[in-house]
Amino acid sequence: MSAVVEVSPAKTFIHPSACVEPGAELGAGVHIGPFCHVGPEARLGDGVELISHVVVAGVTEIGARGRVFPFASIGHQPQDLKYRGERTSLTIGEDCLIREGVTVNPGTAGGGGRTIVGARCVLLANAHVAHDCRIGDDVILSNNVMIAGHCQIGDFAILSGGSATHQFTRVGAHAFVGGLSGVENDIIPFGIAIGNRASLAGLNVVGLKRRGFSHEAVHELRRAYKTLFSAAGTLKERVEEVAAAFPDQPAVQQVVVFLREGGERAICTPRAGREDEA
């Protein structure tokens, strides 16, 4: 470790076998275990722990109290053939748990130059977050979850093991993706998507209850869901019908905003005959 590395004095520990490049910024109480490598433009917040064999490269910031397990690769150049070495960044929020073999890549010039992972996220073993993604707060990515470039994952979303999300896809807040699902279309907030290719299979009622949503809010979401995906007319017409029918229901209006905003992908809908599964 070079003497010019910026290290806060309070109980910081760096194992003798670790390499911390000159210029890296380490907060108070950082713990860097054996055989880790921290690049010259990395910033580790207070209390961050790199357990062992962790690489933090590039213009990468890990928020306070993050824990990173062995063989994670954080901030190495994006897996995009158009990348030409431009200076881009990765920001990971506070209190994140990153397990073994996780890879998180920075942004690209064509995607805004920045990848963002929110606070209190859990990335389990071998999950992958590609370039230019926006991951919200309190998101859980289970083992072997694959998220392609430019995806947006809303707060409290859960993506189950082995699921794959197509580039530019949006997954709404509080949504749930079933294991081994192939997600190629946008999933509404509070929705459940299952299968390959994934289709809507109702609302994440269990998640809603765990997060403290009232019985009334869940009931109104069910009504709105049935209107959106069971009624006649175009989806655009049904969105406006729901917007007018539930003006005082914040959760329903969150779905309305998501659908109005649109994105690069189509909207994930129920399979024929499954519209009433909410």
Q: What is the pLDDT of residues 74-118, one digit of tens each?
A: 999 999 999 999 999 999 999 999 999 999 999 999 999 999 999
For residue 70, the model assigns a pLDDT of 98
Q: Is 116 helix (H, G, I), strand (E, B) or coil?
A: strand
CA distance 204 to 185: 17
Please provide the average confidence, as pLDDT, over all residues in the chain.
95
Q: Which of 132, 138, 155, 186 is the catalytic position? A: 132
138 included as an active-site residue: no
Helix-strand-coil split of the chain, %, nearest 5: 15, 25, 55
pLDDT digits (tens, 9 = 90+) for 134-184: 999 999 999 999 999 999 999 999 999 999 999 999 999 999 999 999 999
Indicate if the pLDDT at residue 24 is higher than 90: yes
Q: Is 46 a catalytic residue?
A: no
Give the chain's domains with CATH numbers: 6-150 (2.160.10.10), 209-261 (1.20.1180)
Q: How far is residue 25 from each of residues 2, 9, 14, 32, 46, measured CA to CA in Å?
A: 12, 12, 13, 13, 10
Contacts of 95 (CB under 8 A, 6+ apart): 63, 64, 65, 66, 119, 120
Q: Which of 29, 149, 161, 172 is catalytic?
A: 149
Catalytic-residue membership of 76: no
| Interatomic CA distance for residues 96 and 43, integer angstroms | 15
User: Which of 53, 131, 166, 174 is labelled catalytic?
Assistant: 131
User: From CA 162, how far away is CA 182, in angstroms rounded?
Assistant: 9
